[in-house]
Amino acid sequence: MPIPKAFTPASVADARSWAAGTLPAEGRGLSGPAILTRDDRSPEAAALLDLLGVHACVLAPLSDAEGSTRGFLAADHGPNGSLPLPGDERCLSIIADQASLLLRYERMSREQARMATVDPLTGAATRRRLMDRLDHLISLSGRTRIPLSLAILDLDHFKKFNDTMGHQVGDRLLQELVGVLTEHVRKTDLVGRYGGEEFVVLFPGADLAGAHVVAESLRHEIFEFGRAHAAAYDHLPISVSVGVAQLRVGEHGDVLEDAQALIGRADEVLYQAKHNGRNRVERAA
């Protein structure tokens, strides 16, 4: 992990190499800031000096929020440089503490970003991520005339699962439903939770006929999953009703509807599927 020279203490400002790395957790001798030399008998110290190719270095641990060591910051004066001076380890420790704070902040930022895009219950994309992706694909389709379709799926009689077996079982069913969907779509497709037991699958590059074929395949896979796991769900039938729609684009590439309108048309035929007996796919005109 390179450290800008401007932030290094004067005592190590001329260090020629900086490195961060991991060492064995059992290396108790490396749990705090220290000056390491070839005179040390610690095998971990020898391994680190061999890694750096020097005869002495300064070491300071990088810790996580719980205080556990997750890595090390090391500084040296090069293979032929002078030995570190007493006190250098305290200077490097200050830098390591600041670096640890930055690493914790970065980790927290990544987790917050992940939570904003991944539904915490099912692992599907959140509605926000789904809509952002759909807006992008609509814009792309307008420029390139590449077709774009989507399917909206609703789990049939989902209330019965919650009322009969409890919400934990209902939650598990939603999780397994997303697992089936994710397993049987392309990497370029996106499965998102639209709300409750409703999910939307984006099919970039697919026209209405192609999306209908995939949606029918997904419906079938979910129904077969229900048959295979009937005992786990009190033999209640597991199925989905599906509505499919393709983005409307004019002759000159002008997009004729936005994301909400596209989903709305798919939603209308979804309710046709429910009205016509459920466990079926309907597609918009």
Cα dihedral 122, 127, 131, 137 in deg (nearest 10): 0
Going by C-alpha positions, the residue among 243, 114, 230 that lies closest to residue 173 is 230
Burial class (CB in 10 A: 0-12, 13-18, 19+), 191: buried
In angstroms, the CA 53 to CA 78 distance is 8
As given in the structure block, the two tokens for residue 123 are 């692992």
Residues ≥6 apart with Cβ < 8 Å to 36: 42, 45, 48, 49, 56, 57, 58, 59
Total Cβ atoms within 10 A of residue 111: 10
Query: Of residues 89, 197, 198, 282, which has the active-site annotation?
Result: 197
197 is catalytic: yes
Catalytic residue IDs:
197
